[in-house]
Structure 1
Amino acid sequence: MARTKAQLSSGARLADYLTVGFLAMQCPVGQVRLALEKSGAQSKRRRGLPREVLVYFVMMMVLYADVAYEDVMRLVVEGLRNLLGEAGLESTVVTKGAISQARGLVGEAPLRQLYEEQVRPHGPPGMPGVMFHGHRVMAIDGSTLTMPDEKANSDFYGHLSGGYGDAAFPVIRFVGMTECGTHTICFAKHGPFEEGELTLAQSVMDHADKSMIVTADRGFCGYEFWQRGLRTGAKLLFRVKSVQSLRRMQTLPDGSYLSEIHSNKNLKQKGQTTVVRVIEYALDGIPDAESSYRLITNWMGEDAPSAVELAALYHRRWTIEESFDELKTHLADRKVILRSKRPDLVKQEFYALLLTHSAIRKLMTEAADRTQQSAVDLSFIHAVRVLQRRIPFVGAIPP
């Protein structure tokens, strides 16, 4: 059942306060305080709202996207009072303007640090969809999020082309790397709309390692980005554009073949080529499928998976689109995804969104593991609803 401002103002249910407890389990107060200290954003005085409260507030406003700031803050204060031991919180009344000012003092850094330290691939190796031939399955892709049409946001982030519908709102562009078996967006980089996905993807790719196989769509299949991926030690599986020339050098027993990619199609000198394995295939009987697909991989040799296995694996990368959809339609479910009206607070809210999404995904993974299911088979919408109703009381959670 959707919450309204009137419902919360007339008296929140105990379950609303308990939601804060779930966030405190996933981002313990001790870790929040450490992140505040490292970023220089810890409270200088114990008067007013502790900065820890502001961190949980930004995460809670993601879950309660259509609820007034003041009501969300009341839920956070009531839910955390036992845990923080702040007697003064009981009588604290905070206005919307004061909340925005306090959020500005906290800044982006603590939430970014919490995200970078707390959110990692976490799918159990035995869970369906998590691993492929001993490697954790990851996907990299980009998307956008809308925000309020304020001048500061518009000047900093820019708009989609056009001026109607979603294009009427400023947008933040981001690239993320998702663990396909859990839908968790483990690494991400954001920037203004005019900053290209391939630019943002550089630092995201750096988080890959030899335990992973990273899949990517054709928009990321450039020589320099491929080289960057190779340096991480990860297995790579990228789709290539139909216009890219790939000369067949050696045909392999499974029908795939070896070829070379070049830093510049007009420059093929030594040191500017890399050998790749090419997999060409078609999807028969699949509606709307393209006539053919081509993938390249650095996974070759006797222990390499077959071309059919790799082709099937590539299409699991679409789970990253489902992860982005969860951010946009299941958590926010409105035309303007982010609520913040200033660029510094947009950045802060971006990491709060990823932290909250990850917390829900961890809950779902734990539930799926207990029942020997795949985490991606569980309903994200149902998990959000369960989260708002059945979380243990926060006072029982250690700091």
Structure 2
Amino acid sequence: MARAGQVKSPAGERLSDRIAIGVLTRAFPPRLVDEVIAEAGRTEQRSRLLPARVVVYFVLAMCLFFGQGYEEVARLLGEGLENERGRRLWRVPTTAAIARARKRLGIEPLTLLFERVCRPVAVPATAGAWYRRWRVVAVDGTTLDVADTAANEAFFGRPGSGRGKGAFPQARVAGLAECGTHAIFATAVGPLASSEQTLSRQLLCRLTAGMLLLADRGFYGFELWQAARATGADLLWRAKKNAALPVLERLPDGSYLSAVFAEADRKRRARPVPVRVIEYTLAPRGDGEVYRLITTILDPDAAPACDLAALYAQRWEIETTFDEIKTHQRGPKLILRSRYPWGVEQEVYGFLLVHHAIRQLMHQTALDHDVDPDRLSFTRSLRIVRRQVPAQAAFSPRPTHPGTHPDPG
């Protein structure tokens, strides 16, 4: 059997080779980039070496080729900017010019582009993305080291312990991801002091009926549970071991019906919210730890307890997703380069947009060849995209206007 990431077609071709296309301009067409620039009010009135459209693509390329200097990234991106006679249309700008252009662009075009493009990508035929009628998604958070500047420390804060303060300030990022495809479709960025629960509230608007949201025990709180439940999505969250969950009715599959209460109603047990509880242990661990899950799916015939216990392991897919970004796309032990909070947030959205584009292409490749997206290697796909972008990222640096010809790509 071929290893993950080396699945082959009948012709012997590695499927991951099929994603080697112009990822930036395919996932983020120039016309769409122009639309979000206009919506953000960043349309420029005079010609520049670095117009807003080019700066958006530069931020994306910067997050694809992380660790490279500004001018090297600009050179890689600009290799595709040639006319039909092979003459360069664009000279590589200086680092200072790029920094000024990023500041002019700001955050909003990237956040708008994320909202327009980043959606769950699985279709009914996508292997591993569904449990029965539910699209399986998960919520989690992570932290990113940012440049050690006074502005970043003041805004984001610095981790500390009994041994002193951490080496770098850190930003906290929360996200919603589709477990089967690793596509992140909602995110929130904030200071380190912001809890994952607090940031996750900003994500709930992206939940819909037909989703099943997985979350670890750090997320449960009555108010957050109710807010997530109100979206129409179903929930499967791990509860803390000291959570008071009275047994109201034993069910044939070994689960039981219970209720949760707001803090003010707990003693009187007023206004109960019904939940179903699944308790189990992981035999190979041998430590006897009891896992306790609560769910909004009250009917055991709709989702048996043994299925939900096995399904909860899919929550680790979002942690793997963050690892893809932090370890492989960004690089281990590297820090975000921006010296100011607005630049940090711009970078975060750049990373998430590039990750989503790669994952979207991996999903399409897997779908075309009827394999699970998990069998394709993100690391190898990332390397292929990096090799191909300079040759295939051709686009005009000029914005589109009504009546002009469509841009290539």
TM-score, normalization by structure 2: 0.87
- Equivalent in the alignment of 1:33: 34
- Equivalent in the alignment of 2:293: 295
Contact kept, 8 Å, 2:261 with 2:272, in 1: the verdict is: yes
Shift of 1:80: 4.0
- Equivalent in the alignment of 2:214: 215
Structure 2: segments with no counterpart, 5+ residues: 1-18, 396-406
Shift of 1:270: 6.8
Quote the Cα distance in structure 2 between the aligned partners of 1:57 and 1:20. 18
Equivalent residues in 2 for 1:53-92 (5 A)? 53-81=54-82, 89-90=89-90, 92=91
- Equivalent in the alignment of 1:22: 23
Structure 1: segments with no counterpart, 5+ residues: 1-17
Shift of 1:231: 0.6
Shift of 1:47: 2.7
Task: Look up the SS of the partner of 1:210 in the other structure.
Answer: coil
Quote the Cα distance in structure 1 between the aligned partners of 2:60 and 2:278. 43
Shift of 1:320: 0.4
- Equivalent in the alignment of 1:350: 348
Shift of 1:346: 0.7
Task: Look up the SS of the partner of 1:214 in the other structure.
Answer: strand
% identical aligned pairs: 40
Contact kept, 8 Å, 1:206 with 1:228, in 2: the verdict is: no
- Equivalent in the alignment of 2:384: 386
Contact kept, 8 Å, 1:189 with 1:203, in 2: the verdict is: yes
Contact kept, 8 Å, 1:158 with 1:193, in 2: the verdict is: yes
The verdict on how the C-alpha distance between 1:356 and 1:34 changes in structure 2, with shifts beyond 3 A counting, is same
User: RMSD of the TM alignment (CA)?
Assistant: 2.5
Between stretches 168-177 and 362-371, larger displacement belongs to 362-371
Shift of 1:82: 5.2
Contact kept, 8 Å, 2:50 with 2:98, in 1: the verdict is: no
Quote the Cα distance in structure 1 between the aligned partners of 2:273 and 2:58. 49
Shift of 1:198: 0.6
The verdict on how the C-alpha distance between 1:262 and 1:66 changes in structure 2, with shifts beyond 3 A counting, is same
Equivalent residues in 2 for 1:225-240 (5 A)? 225-240=224-239
Shift of 1:45: 1.1
Quote the Cα distance in structure 2 between the aligned partners of 1:201 and 1:29. 31
> Is the helix fraction higher in 1 or 2?
1
Equivalent residues in 2 for 1:1-399 (5 A)? 21-81=22-82, 89-90=89-90, 92-162=91-161, 167-264=166-263, 267-269=266-268, 272-286=271-285, 291-301=289-299, 303-390=301-388, 393-395=392-394, 398=408
Paired residues, number: 379
The one-letter amino acid of 2:57's match is Y
The verdict on how the C-alpha distance between 1:366 and 1:340 changes in structure 2, with shifts beyond 3 A counting, is same
Contact kept, 8 Å, 2:171 with 2:189, in 1: the verdict is: yes
Quote the Cα distance in structure 2 between the aligned partners of 1:354 and 1:322. 14
1:331-365: per-residue Cα shift (whole Å, max 9, x none)?
Answer: 01132332211111111111101000001101111
1:254-307: per-residue Cα shift (whole Å, max 9, x none)?
Answer: 0100011111176345764211000001111247x7611000001022642100
Between stretches 383-392 and 226-235, larger displacement belongs to 383-392
TM-score, normalization by structure 1: 0.89
The one-letter amino acid of 1:135's match is W
The verdict on how the C-alpha distance between 1:363 and 1:256 changes in structure 2, with shifts beyond 3 A counting, is same
Task: Look up the SS of the partner of 1:181 in the other structure.
Answer: coil
- Equivalent in the alignment of 2:11: none
Between stretches 154-163 and 117-126, larger displacement belongs to 154-163
The one-letter amino acid of 2:298's match is M
Contact kept, 8 Å, 2:261 with 2:269, in 1: the verdict is: no
The verdict on how the C-alpha distance between 1:177 and 1:332 changes in structure 2, with shifts beyond 3 A counting, is same
The one-letter amino acid of 2:290's match is S
Task: Look up the SS of the partner of 2:206 in the other structure.
Answer: coil
The one-letter amino acid of 1:67's match is Q
Point out which structure has higher relative CO (alpha carbons under 8 A, 6+ apart): 2
Quote the Cα distance in structure 1 between the aligned partners of 2:270 and 2:243. 20
Contact kept, 8 Å, 2:209 with 2:231, in 1: the verdict is: yes
1:212-266: per-residue Cα shift (whole Å, max 9, x none)?
Answer: 0001001111110110111101110000000111110000010100011111176
Contact kept, 8 Å, 2:277 with 2:292, in 1: the verdict is: yes
The verdict on how the C-alpha distance between 1:103 and 1:89 changes in structure 2, with shifts beyond 3 A counting, is farther
1:25-47: per-residue Cα shift (whole Å, max 9, x none)?
Answer: 10000010100000011222123
Contact kept, 8 Å, 1:213 with 1:235, in 2: the verdict is: yes
The verdict on how the C-alpha distance between 1:143 and 1:82 changes in structure 2, with shifts beyond 3 A counting, is farther
The one-letter amino acid of 1:360's match is I
The one-letter amino acid of 2:322's match is F
Contact kept, 8 Å, 2:49 with 2:93, in 1: the verdict is: no
Shift of 1:393: 3.0
The verdict on how the C-alpha distance between 1:102 and 1:395 changes in structure 2, with shifts beyond 3 A counting, is closer
Quote the Cα distance in structure 2 between the aligned partners of 1:364 and 1:137. 18
Task: Look up the SS of the partner of 1:322 in the other structure.
Answer: helix
